[in-house]
Amino acid sequence: MNPVRSRAGRAGGAVLAAAGLLSVQALVTAPGATAAVSGSVSVALAGRVVHGHDVRASSAAACPAGSEYVRVDSANPAGVVDGSDTARLDADRTWTLVLRASSRVADPENSGFAAGRWTYRAWCGRAGSGVHLHDYPPFTVDFTAGIPLRVRTSGQTATIGAAQACPNTGASAVRGQARGEATTAGWSGTFTAAVGPGASWQFTTGRHSAPITSATATCLPADPGGLAFSYLPWRSAPTTAVVAMGDSYSSGEGTSSFDPGTNGPVNFCHRSRYAWPRLLDQELARLTLTAHLACSGAETVHVDNPQDAGQYASPDAAPDHVSQLRRLREVIARSGTPRVVTLGIGGNDVGFRELLEACGVPDCVRNGALAQVRSRIGSAAFRDQLRRTYAAVREAAPGARVVVVGYPNIFPPNGKTDHGLLCAPFTEAEIRGLVDVARTLEAALVEVSAQARVEFNSTFGVLRDHELCSASPYVYPLTPVGGNLRGHPTAAGQRLMAFDVRDYLGGS
């Protein structure tokens, strides 16, 4: 049967998905081996696996009556949920699913695949409910490092090969994609190469006006039901500089892994290496983050302050004792104008964090807190301040694309609580009201962005099916503990935001 790829699985195999190649696979010490796991899931090609392979899992025990699908969630060696795969059930409620190996490691500063032990959890469910009708015992697979591609250029052509021949048994051909970019020209295309003796292969491109900048390749199995193997993608050095400004939704609040000097005792900007701006230069996008200026708790005044005052008054909080706009000017003086400046700001101006604290106990529908925030969003003062801030950033970086990045919705759009304990003590009426406020804020950001002649990228729906109250939330829970982490995207949520922004920028 053909597995159905869920949106939740977008993080796993994202490199290959970007190139239209979804097949990744596994080489093991005992090819073709099948290992039963606790009598309920069988894992084909389990063992020490080369990253870039898939692993086929199937049920040794059927899902219970009423089940409509099986879902397998994967967690990388750092314990971060990396994605999910979903499959329909056979007539007897058994299933088979090819699990896509993740293409990145938990540490975004490492450019290799995630070597180490991955954990998979399979469960049976029914459409629309998110309820686990049956949980299979978890199973693990140990992955070793991936195999890189090698690209050699000669004039206007390039030869694509690999450091190792196709490792999957019975490879019939290699299929890949190559792309070239230049200031005024570009090209992209797919290629197919024959597999020679010993499963070796190479491919030489035609003559192109622009140099090759990226390539992917997958060894296809001779058997249509066999497992393929995908090499690590190759790319040239990124050429598009990005500066990221804004508040906690751009700093990485919610991941709890913060840069030194931004987690107290004076500076609490909470800039994280797992924040979505820090992930932009991964995969095939030709983007590089040259400055991460966003600071948790920032308001528009901390971006654009006439006196250049920063979020913190003390020089001990440097560099955040000066405004983000001043720091942008310093970056430009040092490195030149970036091609893209992203800005996510405004939520703290209208008191969205305080609104979350005002909901639940007491009820923010009844006490008027929701109405107060709606009023602030609609005020002329707020919109004027946004307009001035957007204009100031555009003026400071002439020629750059200024892209306002909106806020993700963190609650189920319909207000329905599948897992009430994760959202208690909010009522469904409060959740519906919070979603409506988020939509109202988004509409204001869209309107003012157009007036200020800057771009707007909506991330409102990127956490769909992973909001608070969902079966698999990618948002830090609103529990009594957690401090400022609460209500912010986790590392998995930040990855989804990075995918969305990177897709919008299109490699610039």
Compare 184 and 280 and report the one with higher pLDDT: 280
Instruction: Give me the residues paired with residue 116 across strands.
Output: 143
Instruction: For 165-198, give one letter per residue: b (16+ CB within 10 A) or e.
Output: bbbbeebbebbbbbbbbeeeeebeeebebebeee
User: How confident is residue 238, by pLDDT bands cut at 50, 70 and 90?
Assistant: low
- Mean pLDDT, to the nearest integer, of 329-358? 91
Backbone φ and ψ of 51, nearest 5°: -60, 135
The predicted pLDDT at position 114 comes to 67
Judge contact between 294 and 247, C-beta under 8 A: yes
Judge contact between 202 and 154, C-beta under 8 A: no
Residue 402 has pLDDT above 60, yes or no: yes
CA distance 222 to 219: 10
Pairing of strands 116-125, 34-37: unpaired
CA distance 6 to 207: 38
Number of H helices, E strands in the chain: 9, 23
Peptide bond into 398 cis (omega under 30): no
Residue 371 has pLDDT above 60, yes or no: yes
Query: Could you tell me how far CA 437 lies from the centroid of its own chain?
Result: 24
**Minimum mean pLDDT range among 120-124, 400-404, 470-474:** 470-474
Question: How many CA atoms does the CB half-sphere of 412 hold within 13 Å?
Answer: 23
Q: What is the per-residue pLDDT across 254-268, written as a single tens digit (0 to 9) for each? A: 987 899 999 989 999
The structure tokens listed for 50 are 């080369």
What count of other Cβ atoms lies within 10 Å of the Cβ of residue 485? 19
Judge contact between 321 and 315, C-beta under 8 A: yes
Q: Map residue 325 onto helix, strand or coil.
A: helix
Residue among 274, 280, 284, 285 at smallest CA distance from 242:
280
Backbone φ and ψ of 18, nearest 5°: -65, -25
Average pLDDT in the chain:
81
Q: What is the per-residue pLDDT across 49-101, written as a single tens digit (0 to 9) for each? A: 777 777 888 988 899 999 999 999 888 888 877 777 888 999 999 999 877 54
Residue 288 has pLDDT above 50, yes or no: yes
Residue among 411, 456, 447, 462 at smallest CA distance from 432:
411
- Mean pLDDT, to the nearest integer, of 317-338? 92
The predicted pLDDT at position 285 comes to 56
Compare 117 and 22 and report the one with higher pLDDT: 117
The predicted pLDDT at position 208 comes to 82
- Mean pLDDT, to the nearest integer, of 322-335? 93
User: How confident is residue 3, by pLDDT bands cut at 50, 70 and 90?
Assistant: very low
The predicted pLDDT at position 37 comes to 43
H or E segment to which residue 500 belongs: helix 491-505
CA distance 94 to 1: 11
> What is the pTM (predicted TM-score) of this model?
0.59
Instruction: Give me the residues paired with residue 392 across strands.
Output: none
Contacts for 38 with CB less than 8 Å, ≥ 6 apart: 136, 137, 139
Residue 18 has pLDDT above 80, yes or no: no
CA distance 486 to 495: 17
Residue 381 has pLDDT above 50, yes or no: yes
User: How confident is residue 404, by pLDDT bands cut at 50, 70 and 90?
Assistant: very high
Vertex 348: Cα angle to 396 and 327 (nearest 5) = 25
Judge contact between 86 and 70, C-beta under 8 A: yes
Residue 400 has pLDDT above 80, yes or no: yes
H or E segment to which residue 183 belongs: none
The predicted pLDDT at position 156 comes to 76
Sign of CA dihedral 308, 313, 315, 321: negative
- Tokens 């954990």 belong to 119
